[in-house]
Structure 1
Amino acid sequence: MKLRAQIFSGYALLALLVAVVSVAGYIGLKAVSGSFNVAINETQPVLTALHDIRLQATHLAFTLAARAADAQEDAKGSAARDEERESPNTPEGLRTRLTAAVSAYHGLVERYFPDELAKTEEIFRRTEHFLAASDALAALDVRGQHAAFEASIGRVATSLDALRDAVDEAAGEEEGEFAGLRESIDTDLRRHLLAILGTCVLSLIAAIAGGAALATHISRPIHALQEAADQLGRGHLDTHVDVTTDNELGTLQSRFNAMAEDLAHSLVSRDYVEAIIESMAEGVVVVDAEGRIERSNSAMKRLYDEAAQGPMLGRPLHEVFAVDDQKDLGSDRASRRGFECRLRGPQEPPTIVSVSVSPITLATDSRGRVLVVQDITERKRNEERLSYLASYDVLTGLPNRRMFLDHLRATLARLPWNGQHVGIMFCDLDRFKFVNDSLGHNIGDLLLQRITERIREVLRPGDVVGRWAGDEFVVMLDEIAQPRDIDIVAEKLVERLRQPVQIGPHELHITVSVGTACAPTDSLDAEELVKSADLAMYTAKAAGKNNFIHYAPEMRTRTEMRLMLEHALRSALDVDDQLQAYYQAQQTFDGTVIGFEALVRWQHPQMGLISPAQFLPAAAEAGLMAALDESVLRMACAELRRWREAGWRDLRVAVNLSNQSFRRSDLVEVVARTVDAAGVPRDRVELELTEDIVMENVGSAIETMERLCALGVHLSIDDFGTGYSSLGQLKRCPIQLLKIDRSFVMDVTHDESDRAITNAIIALAHKLGIKVLAEGVETQEQLDVLRVWGCDAMQGYLLSKPLPAEAANAWLAARQG
C-alpha cells in the first residue's frame, strides 16, 4: 500500500471514530429532549396557571374586604372612589383576571392532559362559588349592617379556602408529575453521558493504537535511513539498508543503496573540479609559489573586467589587487585571515573585494595559493550609509545627538588650555506640533529644513548645530570670549526665527524658545551642560515662549521639585483619600441652584494641601492629565448620585477636560463607562472644554464632541474669550453653554472694553441659541450688571467658594431651609 494511502486510512479511521462519538451524543440528546420538552412546555405552564388562579383569587378577596371596610368607615369621598375604578386593581379587573386564569388553565389541561379534565371541573365549580360570594360582598351596602358584612366576609373566606384547596391539590399532582419527569431526565442524562464517555474512551484507545502503529510503520524505515546516511558520511562506503516495504519509503531505501554504490565506485576527475570552480559565484584565483596568477574562473574575470584590462594570466597579484603593502599578498597572515582591498582598474566607483587565501599543499610540498574573491562594494556603501545615519540626521543633514555630544566632549576637553568659553543653546520650536498635525508631516519636514538654514545663517562657520530630537535643536558656540556673548547670539536667533516662513501657499509663523548655558561656568560635562540649557529652555517656555533665558542653578531645584511632584502624583492617583473634588456652586439669576463645577484638590500626607497651580503643570508634562480627569469625573459622578439620593435630583455636575483627555481615542467609552457605573443620568453631567482644545483641530474636535453629545452628556466652553476662537467658529460645535472668563467679569462694572466684550458675548451667544454663565462673580454690582444684560447663570465667591463634598451638602441643605 502506498504511504499516502496508509496515512489517509489513518485519518479515515479517526474521522469514523469522531462520527461514532457524534452519533452517540446525538442519540442521547434526542432521548433526553423529549422528556425535557414535556416538563418545560406542558407541565410547567399548567403549574404557572394554577399559581395565577390562587394569586388572583386571593387578591380579589382582600381587595373586596378592604373596600368594604373603607365603605363602612365612609372615609373616602366620591373622587377617591372614582380613582379606584380607574385603577387596574379594581374588583372588576381582578374578577376578569381570575376568570381568564381559570380559562387558561382549562385550555392547557384540555390541550396537554385531556384525561385530567375532571380536575378542572372541580376548580370551575369552586371558582363560581367564590365569585358568587365575592359579588354578594361587592353588592352589599355595608354601612350600618355590620352583621351582614361579617357574614358576607365569612362566605368569601370559606369559598376562597375551598378554591385554594382545590388549586393546591391540582398543583400538588402536577408538581409530583414534574418531579417525576425531572428524575427521569436526570436518569436518562446520566445513562447517555456514561454511554458517550465510554464511546469516547474506546475511540481514544483505538485512535492511539492506530496512530502508534502507523507512526512505527513510517518511522522505522526512516530511522534506518538516517543511521545509514550517518555511516556513509563517516566514510563507510559499503553501507546499505534493507528494503522493508513496497511504498515510497521502500523506493527511497532502494535509491539510497544505488547512490551509495555509485559513490563508492566514482572517481573525482579534473573536469569535475573545473566545473565546480567555474560554477562558483565568487571569483577564484590560483597563484603559483612565486605569486603569479596561474588561472581564474569566469566570476573573477567579470569582477576584474578582463575584456577591458587584458588577461590576468601570468600577472603578479599586486597588478590586480591594490593593497597598501604588497608583502601582505604572500604572507602567512594573509593566508590565515584574508584581507579587503580594491581591484585595480579605471572603474568608478572602484570595486571593493574581500579576499580569503588558502595554501595549496600536496603532501609536504607547497604548490601556491588559492584566493576566493567576493565583491563587497555594495556592502561597503551600505556600511558607509549606516555610519552616516548613526551620526547625522537624514532630514536636515545636521549632526544627531550622538555626534553633537562627541563634538562637545572634544571641545570641552581642550577648554582648560585655551582660556575661552563654550556656549550651548537648546532650542525648541513653539507650536510646531500644531503645524505638523494640521498641515501634514511633509510641510513639517520642509519647515524643519528652512529652520535649519536660518539657524546656520545666525552662526559663525566654526559653530556646530545639531538636531537633538523632533523640533529640538542644539547649538555649540566655540571659543567665545565671555558668557554674555551667548545671549547676543540667542537674541539674534529668536529674532530670525520669529520672521514668517513661506512654504508653498502657507505662510507659517513659528517662534522659538531658547535656553543657554556656558562652560566652564555651568559645567564641564557635556551631558550636564546640555541638560542645563534644556532646563533653561523649559523655563523660557513657561515664561511665555518666543524668548531666551540663561541657565541658573535654581532651575534645577524647580525641576527636581517638579519630578518629585510627578512621582507623588502618580502615587496619589492610586490612593483614594489624597485627591479630592471641591465643588463651586452655580445658579441662575432668579436664585435657582443648577449645579456645581468639580475642581480637583490634592491633600498630600506630608506636604499638606498642594495648589493646583503647582501640580497641574507637572501632571500635564508627565502625561497624567487624562488619568487625573478620569479620577475627578468618577468622584463627581459619585457625589452627584448622593445628591440625587438626598432629593436634589435637578442638579448637574460640571467636570473640566484637559487636552490630553480630549485626544484620547477611547474618551467616549471612558465617559460612558464612568457615568453609567455611578448610576446617574448622562444629561446631568457636563464636560467643560477650553477654546484651545477645540481650535487646535476643529474638524476632529467637532467629531469627538458630536460623539460625546450622542451619549447624552452636555458640553460647555470654559474660560471663553481668552483663546483664539470666535463665536462664528463655535457655532459649528454642539455646545450648550459658554462660560465667560473671570478676567472679563472682574472689571465689568468700570472697564468699558470688558463691558462691551461681555455684553457682546451674551447677545451673540443667545442669537446662536447658546446659554451663558459668568465665572468669577464676586460683587453685587457685577451680578446686577450681568442680570440686566440677560446672562443666564453665574458662579463665583459671591455665591460660594469651592467646597469639599460635606460642606457642599451642608450649603445645599441651608439653601433649601
Structure 2
Amino acid sequence: MNEASEKIGAAAGEDGDAPRDLDPARAPGARRLPDDVADVLEALPANVALLDRTGRIVAVNGGWRRFADESALSLATHGIGGCYIEAAGEAADCLREVIAGERADFSFVFSSHSEDRQCWFRAYFAPLRVAGEPGALVMHSDVSEAVAAEQRVFQLLHYDSLTGLPNRAFFLDRLRHMLAQGQRYHRKLAVLFIDLDRFKVINDTLGHQVGDELLQQFGRRLSAACRASDTLGRFGGDEFVMILPDLRNGQEAVAVARKLIGLLAEPFRAAGQDLYVGASIGVAVFPDDADDADTLLRYADTAMFRAKDLGRGGWQFHTPVMNERALERLHLETDLRHALERNEFELHYQPKVSCASGEIVGFEALLRWNHPTRGLVFPADFIASLEESGLIVRVGAWVLEAACRQLALWQQAGFGRTDVSVNLSARQLEDPHLIDTVRTALDVSGLEAASLELELTESMLMRNAEQIIATLGELRRLGIRLSVDDFGTGYSSLSYLKRFPLDAVKVDRSFVQDITADPDDASITRAVITMAHSLKLKVVAEGVETDGQLSLLIANQCDEIQGYLFSPPLPAAAAAGLLEMRKRLSEEQLRSQQRQRVLLLVDDEENILASLRRLLRRDGYRILVANGGEQGLEQLAQNEVDVIISDQRMPAMTGVEFLRRVKTIYPNTVRIVLSGYTELQSITDAINEGAIYKFLTKPWDDEQLRANIEEAFRHKELADDNRRLNHDVQIANKELAHANQQLRSVLDEKQRQLARDEASLDIAQEILQQVSLPIIGFDNDGMIVFANREADLLLGGGVPLLGSFAEERLPERLNGLLLAKDGGGIDWAADGGRWRVSCRTMGETSRSRGSLMLFLARESAP
C-alpha cells in the first residue's frame, strides 16, 4: 500500500488539526479527515467512499454525496422498483474479499438504470487501512459516454446505417456460424440473394432520397417475412441477402422465394406515388451446392443474375439440376390438385407385431399416389406439396375414412381384433374441424374408436402446446388412442411430454438402424423404452430389418415392432392375406427373450379361469391355473412364476392369506388380487405390508386388465434386472478390489525394485568416481550422461562435462571413435600425456544403452 493510502487510512480514525467532516448525513461511525486529505478527495473526478472492516461507509467526498442525493431522489420518485443496479451481488462478494485481504483490487463496469435513463459506471475497489483496521477505498466514475461510444462503434461496424440490417461482415459471421451448426447437426441451409429489379432507374430519375426511402421500405418488408431463426442483411446498393436455416430440403427455400417474390411485387409508396419495383432471387443450398460461406454467396449471386436474365421478377436455383427439380415439383403440385378427384390415392398397410406373442396387433396406414404417368409415388415426394398447398386437410380426411373403413371390413371378415394407426399432419392438428372429421370417419365406417390410433410428431406437439393438449383431450374422450411418431428426433423434454394424453411412443428408425452396432443408439433406445414404460406408455420400434435388431429390442422389453423384417407396407389385399394366414414372428425370433412370461391364475370358479385364459392367451404368456390356495402353492413349487392373480373369496384360504404366504416363500413374484368382494381392512393391511401389488375389481375391463398385467410383468422384469445388476456390481466390485490389491502388490514390488536399482546405481556411480582413470558415459544421442572427476579435469578443464554433447566437448578424433561404435581404440595424446582410449557399446549383458569411453595411461597399457 502506498504512503498516501496509509495517510488517508490513518487519518480516517484520528483527530487532527482543523478536521473536516465529509459525511453530510453524519451517520453513526462517520470519520473526520484532515483538510489536506479531504481536499485531495474533493479534487478527485470520481465518487469516493471509505469503508470500514464491516463494509460500512465511514467517509465520502462531495462527488459521492451528490451521487447519493440523486439515487435518493430516484428512489423517492420511482420507488424501489424503478431504480435497478446490476452486478450488486458480485460487487459485494469481491468487496468482502478485498477487506479480508484475499484480493488486491478490482474494477468493473456496471449499469444503473431507472425508468427514464440509463447510466454506466466503472467501480474500483482497493484495500485501505482505516483507523488501523482493514477497510476499503471505493471509487466510481460515470463512463456512460464511453459505453455509448462503444455501442455506436459496434453499430457502425456491424450494421447497415440506412436499413439497420446486418452488414456484409456481420452477415458473413452469422452465416459461418450457421454453417457450422448445420454441419454438426446435419441440417440444410439456404442462402437467398435478393436484388431489386428496377432500382437504378428509380434512383437515377427520382433521386437518392427516394431511393434510400425505397430501400428502407424494402428492408422492412423483407424483415416482416423472416422467421425468428432467419437472418437478413444488406450488402450495399440494392443487394439484400437472407439465410434460411434448419430446412428439411431445398424445396422449402422455393416456398420462401415464392412468398418473397409476391410480397415484393406489391407497390411501394414513396415520393407521393406507387412504385412497382419487384425483385429477382438466387438460391444456393448447403450442403448440396457448397459447404462454405463465400462459395454459397457466389452461387446465390450467380443464380440471381440468371433469374434477371430469364425475365426478372422470379427466382432460380444455382444448379440446372435443382431448377429442373423445382419445375418438376411445380408440375407435381398441379397434378396433386386433381389426384383426389381422380381416385389416384391408395393406402398401403404395414403390420405392427407384438414382441410378446409375435402376432399382428395392428397396421399403420401409409399413403401412396398412383400417378398416371409416373407410377407409384411415395409420400416423401409429395407430402410437403400437400402441406404447402393446404390440400393436406382434404387428403388427410380421405385417409382417415379409408383406413377406418378397411379395418372395419377386416374385423367383419373375422380376422380378429387389430387396430389401425393414421399419421396426422400439423395442418390437420390445427384444423378446427379435426374432431368432426374423425367422428365422421368412425360413424361412416362403423369402426370402434378404440381401434383407431392417431400418430403425431414431437415437433407438432411443441408448436402450440396448450391448444394441442386441449385438442388431444377431446380426441381421447372419443376413445381414440394417441402416439408420438419418430420419437427421439424432436426437441420435447420428458417433463413436458408427460403433460400430453398419450398412449404410445414410436422409436425412430434412425436409432433402430444401428442399434446392434452403435452403443449410443442402443443406450438411447433402452432409455426411451424405460422412460416410456415409467409413464405407462407402449413402445413401438420402427424400421426393424434384422433378427439382431429384433433380439435386442425384445431383450429391452420393447412392446411392438414394425419393419421390413416382418413385412413391408402392402396394398389392402396383400395385408389381408397376412391376417388370413395368421402370419407371426417365429418361435426362434421370439426366443431371444430370456424366458417366457409365466402367469398364475388362482380362482375357485372355473368359468372365471376360462374367461381369463381366453382374454390373456393373445399376449403370449404361459398361463398356469389353480382352483385354490393349496393348489396355487403346488404350482409355485413346480414352476417359476412371475405374476399371480388371485381371487379373494376362496374356500379354505382367502386370497390375502394365500398371497401373504407366497410373499414369504416367493418374495420376487408380483401379486394381484382380482375380486368382486372388498374386505377393506384386510386388503389395506396386505397392500401396506407388501403382500399385494395391486387390487383389481370384478367385473373387469378387458383392456385395462391386460394393461395392468403387462405393467406387472414389466415391474417384475425391472426388479429382476435390478437384482441381477446388483449381483453383477457386487461381483465386479469384488473383482475390482482383488485387481486393485494385485496392482498394489505389483506397484509395491516395482517401487522396491526401483529403490534397489537406485541404490545399485548410486554405488556404481560412486565406484566410477573413485577410479583414478578418466571414464565418460554417453546415451544413444551422444549426450554425456556420466563423467568422473578425472574425465572433467582431462577434457573439461575442470568444467563438468555432464549434460553436454560429445560433438561439442570431445576432440575430433575421440568423437570419431564414439561414432564408429566398433569397440575399437586409438592412441591419443593430451596435456603432455599419452592415452589408450577405447569405446565400448553398452547392453551386451544388461538392458543398459549407450556407450562407455575409457582412458588408460599409455604407460599402464598392457
Class of the TM-score when normalised by the shorter of the 2 chains: 0.3 to 0.5
TM-score (structure 1 length as normaliser) = 0.38
TM-score (structure 2 length as normaliser) = 0.36
Q: Which has the higher helix share?
A: 1
Whichever of the two has the greater Rg, that structure is 1
